[in-house]
Each structure stands twice: as C-alpha cells, then as structure tokens.
Amino acid sequence: MGVNVPHVETARGLTTLLEDEALFRDSVYEFADREIRPHVREMDEQAQIPRQLIDRLFELGVMGIQIPEAQGGAGAEFFHAVLAVEALSRVDPSIAVLVDVQNTLVINALLRWGSEPLRQQYLPRLAAGTVGAYALSEAGSGSDAFALATRASESGDAFVLSGRKLWITNAHEADLFIVFATVNPDAGYHGITAFVVERGAAGCTVGRKEDKLGIRASSTCELVLDGCRVPRGNVLGDAGAGYKVAIETLNEGRIGIGAQMVGLAQGALDHAVRYTKERRQFGKAIAEFQAVQFELARAATELEAARLMVYNAARLRDAGESFVKEAAMAKLFSSEVAERVTSLAVNLYGGYGFVKDYPVEKLYRDAKIGQIYEGTSNLQLQTIAKQILG
C-alpha cells in the first residue's frame, strides 16, 4: 500500500514512511494541504464530506493504521494514528475526526475485543473502504454514559436490539457500527454489551444529520434500532462486558481528540503568524509589535505543551503502561488551548477573522467541540482527580 505524496520519496511505501514518524506526519499533512484544503469551505457549508475524499483517505492508508498488514492495514502503532489525526486537523478537523473514530474507537475495539472470526470478517473491510461508527450516546446517556435505554434481548442464536442512539459521529458514511445495549438492566453496568451491527441489517436505520456549530462536514446522526437482529457471534467481547469495552476504548479515543485539538490549534496559529506578517498598521506589519509577538509566543508555548502531553499519553498506551490520567489531562488541556489559540487568531485577523472568507472563523467554531465530546472537561477533571487521589 503506497502513500502518494509529492515532495517526499513517493516510491517509499507506507510501512517505510512509518519508520520515520516526522516524515509520516508531514506526508499526511502535505496530502491534506493538497487534496483537502481546496474543499474545506464547501464541505463546511454543505455539511458533507465527498465520497471521493474518503476513498483517497483509504488509498493513503490512514483509515486502517493499526490493522495488521495481512488484513490490508498498515500494521502500525496507535501513536501513528495520533500523528495522522494531528496532521489532518491542521487543514480540516472534520476530516480528522472521521479518521480518528475509525482508528482509535472502531478498529481499536475490534482489535482488542473482537473474536478471531469478527476480526477476520471486518478488519479487511475497514482497511479497504468501509467506514465505522461508535454508537454509545443516547438522549439520556451522555456524560452518564451507561444510563442506556437501548435494550438487547436474546432470541435463539441472535440478540434483538431496540432503542435510539444520538450524536453518532460518522453515522452518515458508516456501514459498520459498534452499538452498546443493555442485555440485563438489573445487572447495572454488568448488563451492558457491545455489538457489531451492519448498516444493512433489518431494523437498523440512520436518522437525520445534526446541523452543528462546528466540524460541520463530519456527520453526526441518530441511529434507530427497531427489532434489529444481530447474530450472537457479533458480540464484541463477552455479553455483559460492554462497559469495559467502552471505558477502555474511550480512554484511548481521548488521546485522539487531543491530537485533533493540537492540529486544529496549529492550523490556526499558522494562519495567524502568516497574517500578522502581512497586515500593516501604523506603517508596519503587526508582527513587529511586541504585544502581538508576546501573544503568539504564549500561544506557541501552550500548543507545544499540549502536543507533548498528547504524545506522552500515546506513547504510554503503546508501551502498555497506565495512561488514563495522562489521556484525560491531554484532552482537557489541548481542548482549552485550541479554544484560546483559535480565539487569538480571530482577534489578530480583526474584522476579517469574523467572516467566512478567511479560515480562522471556521477553526474557532470547530474548536468548541473538544471540550464536549468523548468526555466533557468536567469529566476529565473528575478522572484526573480520582487518579491523583488514588
């Protein structure tokens, strides 16, 4: 599987590129700058990612980074998925979250919890062209992630699922869903079970797309399950182990969101630095004013700190070390930094920063979701507090 990137040794395959992490990250960014950036505003306005761009992401190899090479993937590490999400987010966080959910949630869950038949059935598809989605949230189950109303009842060699899932990222494009439902409500957390559900299954319907403030091209839809029959073999992990699947996968997913926020903030800072060199006031570029220099310096410092926190959490995860606290810290801090840096970029653009003709307005809107999804900032603080208090 090759990576088609100009100004890089294009004869080198993805496996070789992965050996040089900086080159891999930069090659993904060059791809995004060349092939995604021209469509960013149109995608934002139309709230849709063109299928041809999704196909290019598969061709690039970033939709199956951790899938073994024997099953069509890159056979790389979690850290490489984080680098790809960061690089894509510099151009469009909507594209980045498509890649992030695919890798850090869907594929990760299948690799860790899927039976051998499930992995053999679905991982090659996820590497080749199938988009995945992660269906946990419900109307009454957001921060309280396990207050699930969706039910799964046993029926012979299958389970029958009924309920409504909300805020499902990638749902419009996805052909495969990891769905969480309660098999035994009386068992509390221990009744929750994860299922692999195909889009074409009878009783499985993708509902309307939400009209969002930011990351608008990324689809967010409801998923309606009405007597959806799922084979018993499509249980992810054991029946009743869904809470472990969700918790452990989301802990990893938070690192991906941290990477998204770091890349987003870097994109905004890039724009701001260029613009301050071009915009002239009182006879000189505003970059020559010390007040502007200090603001940019502080933003760059905070951004580098956020990046190192994300990288550290990803490294710990790949090393098999404890990373729950570090993942929560990385997501909390990077989302706050993204909001501050994008706000500064808007301010430095002045009136132009407030209009859609210039790029920082969109990044400012995109940044807000970082403090909400995959665990709000308050939940990250709670996690951190529990970790440090023992």
Q: What does the pLDDT profile of the chain (390 residues) look like in tens digits?
A: 333 443 333 324 555 566 789 899 999 999 999 999 999 999 999 999 999 999 999 999 999 999 999 999 999 999 999 999 999 999 999 999 999 999 999 999 999 999 999 999 999 999 999 999 999 999 988 778 778 999 999 999 999 999 999 999 999 999 999 999 999 998 888 999 999 999 999 999 999 999 999 999 999 999 999 999 999 999 999 999 999 999 999 999 999 999 999 999 999 999 999 999 999 999 999 999 999 999 999 999 999 999 999 999 999 999 999 999 999 999 999 999 999 999 999 999 999 999 999 999 999 999 999 999 999 999 999 999 999 999
**For the domain that residue 144 is a member of, what is the CATH number?**
2.40.110.10
Here the tokens at position 128 are 């080749």
The three-class DSSP label of residue 343 is helix
- The alpha helices in 92-173, defined as continuous H runs, are 93-100, 108-113, 116-128
Asked whether 102 and 170 are in contact (CB, 8 A), the reply is yes
- The answer to whether residue 154 is catalytic is no
Domain that holds residue 183: 133-240
Regarding whether 108 and 143 lie in a shared domain, the answer is no
| Annotated catalytic residue, options 302, 326, 339, 374 | 374
Regarding whether 254 and 231 lie in a shared domain, the answer is no
Q: Give a yes or no: residue 3 inside a domain.
A: no
From 131, 147, 166, give the residue that closes a domain: 131
Regarding whether 276 and 382 lie in a shared domain, the answer is yes
Q: Give a yes or no: residue 256 inside a domain.
A: yes
DSSP labels, 271-337: HHHHHHHH-EETTEEGGGSHHHHHHHHHHHHHHHHHHHHHHHHHHHHHTT---HHHHHHHHHHHHHH
Q: Give a yes or no: residue 301 inside a domain.
A: yes
Regarding whether 277 and 194 lie in a shared domain, the answer is no
Length of the chain in residues, anyone?
A: 390
- How many domains are contained in the chain? 3
Regarding whether 160 and 126 lie in a shared domain, the answer is no
Q: Give a yes or no: residue 8 inside a domain.
A: no
- Whole-model pTM: value is 0.94
Regarding whether 153 and 119 lie in a shared domain, the answer is no
